[in-house]
């Protein structure tokens, strides 16, 4: 997997992440999304929004 750029914003504030955390989060999300039937391997952008 190529390097994936990931940005984490919580309540509008960007949260800094070190390389280890960035790789864990991006790899987990990309891996889970990649298993979905309607998602191609050549995806460019994934946007996820969580609210509570």
Predicted confidence (pLDDT) per residue in 1-51, tens digit: 567 889 999 999 999 999 999 999 999 999 999 899 999 888 899 999 999
pTM over 0.85: no
SS3 content of the chain, % helix, strand, coil (to 5): 30, 10, 60
Beta bridge partners of 14: 9
Beta strands in the chain (DSSP E): 8-10, 13-15
């Amino acid at each position: 997997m190529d390097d994936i750029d990931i940005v984490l914003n919580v309540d509008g504030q960007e949260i800094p992440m070190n390389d280890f955390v960035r790789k864990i989060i991006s790899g987990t999300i990309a891996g889970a999304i990649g298993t979905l039937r309607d998602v191609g391997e050549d995806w460019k952008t994934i946007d996820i929004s969580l609210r509570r």
